[in-house]
Amino acid sequence: MAFIIIDLEFNNLSGIHKCIPNVYNDNPGLKNLELDNEIIEIGAVKLDAHMQPCEELKVYIKPSVIPIINPKILEITKINIKDLENGVGFVEGINKLKEMVDEGDIICSWAKDDIAEIIRNANYYGYDDLSWIDNYLDIQEYVTKILGYRKSLSLKNALKALKIKVNEDLLHDALNDCIYTAHVFKNMYNSRAVKNYIVEDIFKMPALEVRSLEGVELNYEKINQICPKCKKKLEVDYPFSIVGWRFISLGTCSKCNSRVLDELIVKKSLCGEEIYKEVATVIDEYDYLRYENKLKNKVYN
């Protein structure tokens, strides 16, 4: 069993109008691209069973979806446009990554975005040979939890926390980021603990934040609304309503009379299924009134 740490660089149009003011007028086609993030570089490091690096990959992908390279991206990644012009096609690039993977190996990345983008780019090209991403580990999630941080650590801060020397000029290069991630992972590696973080069905994992909750129709069959103290069904005082980044509902327990704040976070799996994370908390009367005010304002505005 080996770990294959991957890191990608993308081209996208984020903030491009600041560098090229008329870009959307001059290129009307840019407004309806089918891919937001086009992979332009794949980096990977394979760690063997003794956590020793045994294989590396660095490959540029010739852009073919987004016709303009965002100058900001070139600045951050320090990628030379010539390297992109000489790059390989997406399918050839992804096949090189696939060749590194043997049965039972675990694909790893720092945060889930890269793995989500591999799947999105693959879907765009009609490339459906992704069975090699069988087992997956989010090293960011693992390291953040093991180090006891509540907020997801950036790679830079993880390196800092572990006192690993970094040449900042080398960050944001796909292969170097893999090598740094490998350092962090080796430092924090514990074979028993890691097992709890390996995802076996990657397409069902709740990977993607749902950006706009406005269009979400809640499926009440997947929602419990029970009292955290006595597990009894709540009397709902205010049904779920969007407040910021989540839905909230207020209820009262008919058995123990607790006031309960029920929060619902909606995420999407890579195959598009909506996944709910519901957290019910007993709150005091003061907090109840505070949330009640928020919900009342929502209803009457």
Q: Which stretch binds Zn ion (CB under 5 A): 16-24, 114-122, 158-166, 251-259?
A: 251-259
- Shortest spacing between CB 232 and Zn ion, in angstroms: 5
- Shortest spacing between CB 219 and Zn ion, in angstroms: 24
Would you count residue 235 as binding Zn ion (CB under 5 A)? no
Would you count residue 224 as binding Zn ion (CB under 5 A)? no
Q: Kindly tell me which residue out of 72, 98, 229, 294 binds Zn ion, with binding defined by CB under 5 A.
A: 229
Q: Which stretch binds Zn ion (CB under 5 A): 26-34, 37-45, 139-147, 250-258?
A: 250-258
Six-digit token string for 268: 């999407």
Q: Kindly tell me which residue out of 107, 253, 270, 295 binds Zn ion, with binding defined by CB under 5 A.
A: 253
Q: Which stretch binds Zn ion (CB under 5 A): 3-11, 70-78, 80-88, 221-229?
A: 221-229
Would you count residue 255 as binding Zn ion (CB under 5 A)? yes
Query: Between 207 and 260, whose beta carbon lies closer to Zn ion?
Result: 260
- Shortest spacing between CB 248 and Zn ion, in angstroms: 18
Would you count residue 256 as binding Zn ion (CB under 5 A)? yes
Would you count residue 227 as binding Zn ion (CB under 5 A)? yes
Contact between 46 and 100 (Cβ < 8 Å): yes
Chain contacts with Zn ion (rule: CB under 5 A): 227, 229-230, 253, 255-256, 258
